Every structure is written in structure tokens, then in C-alpha cells.
Amino acid sequence: MKILVLNAGSSSLKFELFEKKGRSLHSITEEAFDNHGKPIKNFKKAVAHAMRFLTHNKFIKHHTEIDGIGHRIVHGGHHTESEIVTMNVIATIKKFIPNAPLHNPANLACILACKKLFPRITQVAVFDTAFHHTIPEKAYLYGLPYSFYKRFGMRKYGFHGTSHSYVFEQARKKLGARAVRRTVTCHLGNGCSLTAILNGKAIDTSMGFTPLEGVPMGTRPGDFDPAIIFYLHEKGYSFAKIKDILIHKSGLRGVSELSSDMRDIWAAYKKHDNRAVRTLKWFAYRIAKYIGAYAVALGGLDCIVFTAGIGENAFYLRKMVLDYLKIFPRKHVLVIHTDEELKIAEETLKFIR
Ligand code: ADP
């Protein structure tokens, strides 16, 4: 049995082919297309290209060998678990394009391309938001007029759910359910988010209505005073310009004036570069503060899991964060490599059996 996972970004297409051997799924090959740095404009061509890559390199003889295609969908609105792609699923992905303007259009284009190119293969949508559906009202409501929640679905949704649930499962397998009863998972990559997990269920998460809220990220600010937007507008910045700053020019990049990449910041930090020193201190403090808040939400803290590019590699950042958390002496700290594609393949397989 073979499962293809497609993960479409704003300008790239990552794909990974899995085969079921015995009871588990094994990766056969993974590849990323980004048109040599140029944005992918035509996902139908990109998907066809991916399939040609698989046949040309003899990973499969023909696309009919593939039993299911799993799509990573960034914003799944009210959907609480993975689903076979239907018109209803497509409508949701469209509806939430304003909340995930970089990803949902690409995810949708990929699904439509597959339906056209491979109409007989089962397509499954795996939502980044689904794991967070257990977050209670007190955590997902904003302090805005309640009518906005009713009219626009304006609430916290959360993202990176596939990664948070995957690394949490790995932690539970490793330590047992008791040791991970009150866990905070920290996905620190280009995008960063933290999730508070109580007895295996998400009860709060740092990203919100869109992936802009929460802890700082590579180029996004995380939490800040929203009145700054009006202030900048009054100073002559257009809303388009402000949006660009908040999505592409803030976070590690904005504060350091060096780079959005933690490796560059660390290299400068080691040379006592002031810009890198202030950035690391600021980043670690903000993450630690969120973990502290989640310890309150969880009623204590048994386990912290770090994952993704920064979480897995930046030991110095982990140390700076953990230095703030010495008031929780008996916790486990794990570093777990996230594998969203594997999790998507597992979810897809559920619909094929
Ligand atoms: P994405 O969120 O796009 O999936 P990743 O999880 O791959 O991203 O994380 C990418 C980020 O991880 C990079 O921008 C960089 O800041 C950081 N990173 C990658 N490798 C390292 C490393 N060896 N040390 C520190 N940071 C790293």
C-alpha cells in the first residue's frame, strides 16, 4: 500500500511517498519543488511534475499504484478531524483563505489538481487546526464583541496541530501517559507556536485566528499591542505595507536587523553582537512567559517538548528558556523531531483500509 503526502507552501511543493510494510509506514522518498527559488504559480504542473519524478525514478510504475493522497491543510475552520476531500471540505478551505492567505490557496490548488489528474485516488485533507478543537471557549474567545465570533467565526483556531499532536504522541510513547499528563509542546520553526496539552487534549495554543498571534517567529512578531497598527497608519504606512511588515519583516528578523534564521543569530551572538544578544534574550523570555502561563492553565507542568528547526537544534535557546522555568523542578524536557508528513500519511491510511 502506498500513500503520497502533499504539503503545499506559498511558493513550494513538498511531497513524500510512504509504503506500508507490516503495521507501519515507511518513507520511500521525499522531495521539494520550488522552481529553483521561483514561486510555483501552477500547482497542477507541480503535482504532475511530482508524479513524473516518482515514475521516472522508479519509485512507482504508474500513479494507480498510489492508494491515497494526504494533503496538509493549514486552516480547516470548524473541522475537528481529518476528512476525505468533499465539496464541503473544499468550501471550508476557500472560506478560510483570508485567515491563511499564503497557504490555503496553495493547499486548495493542490487538491483541485489531484482531483483532475488522478480522479480515482482517494484524497484526504489533514487540517493543522484540527488538534486544537478541544480548546475550551474561555481560551478561544477574544475580548471582542461576541457578534464577531458569531458572524465571522472570530476566535482562536491554532495551527501546527499535526506537529503538536505528533510530538506529543512520541513523548507519551517514550515516557508513559502519567509523565505527560500536563505537557507544553513548543514548535519553533519559521513559524512558532506552543500548545498546552492536558490528558492528551489541547486546552490552549498560542497562534490564533491567524498564524500571527502568539510567541515571536522568524518574521512575524507574535503578540504586540494592536493599537500600533493605527499608530503606523496615522504615520502614513498603508495597511498593505503594515501587513507586509507583520508577516515578513518582524520577529527575529525585525528585532535583530540581521536575519530571520536562528543559525545566523547564533553565529553573531557568539561574537557578542548586541543585535543578536538582545534578540535571543527577547525570544527566550517570551517563550518562557508563555510556558509559565500554560503551567497555570494546566495546573502544573510535567513535560516540555521542543520540536522543529529551532526547537530541535538551538540548544542555547532551550537553555535560556529552561533557565526561567526552574520553579518547575520535576518536569521532563524532551527534544523530538517532528514528522508532519508521516502523521498525514497515517491519517490518510485510516481512510484507505
Ligand atoms: P518550517 O516552519 O518552515 O517547517 P523548520 O522547522 O524547518 O521550518 O525551521 C526552520 C528554521 O529553523 C530556520 O529558519 C532556522 O531559524 C532554524 N534552524 C534550522 N536548523 C537550525 C540549526 N541547526 N540551529 C538553529 N536553528 C536552526
Give pLDDT, residue 137: 98
- DSSP H helices, 79-160, are 87-95, 104-117, 137-140, 146-152
Q: Which residues is 6 bridged to in the sheet? A: 15, 71
Give pLDDT, residue 35: 61
Q: Which of 13, 190, 307 to mutate to test the pocket of ligand 1 (most atoms within 8 A of CB)?
A: 190
DSSP secondary-structure letter at 131? G
- C-alpha 188/C-alpha 252 separation (Å) is 12
Q: Which residues approach ligand 1 with their CB closer than 6 A?
A: 189-191, 218, 261-263, 308-310, 313-314
Give pLDDT, residue 41: 73
Instruction: Give the whole-number percent of the chain exceeding pLDDT 70.
Output: 98
- C-alpha 292/C-alpha 194 separation (Å) is 11
Query: Which letter, b or e, does each residue of 73-109 get, where b requires 16 or more Cβ atoms within 10 Å of its Cβ?
Result: bbbbbebeebbebeeebeebbeebeebbeebbbbbbb
> Which portions of the chain are predicted below pLDDT 50?
none
- Only one residue has cell 498560542, namely 206
- C-alpha 293/C-alpha 298 separation (Å) is 9
Residues in Cβ contact with 65 at an 8 Å cutoff, skipping those fewer than 6 apart: 2
- C-alpha 282/C-alpha 254 separation (Å) is 12
Give me ligand 1 centre to Cα 215, in Å. 16
Give pLDDT, residue 39: 61
User: Sign of torsion, CA 255 257 262 265?
Assistant: negative
Give me ligand 1 centre to Cα 261, in Å. 7
Give pLDDT, residue 198: 98
Q: Which of 258, 310, 338 to mutate to test the pocket of ligand 1 (most atoms within 8 A of CB)?
A: 310
Give pLDDT, residue 36: 59
Give pLDDT, residue 58: 93
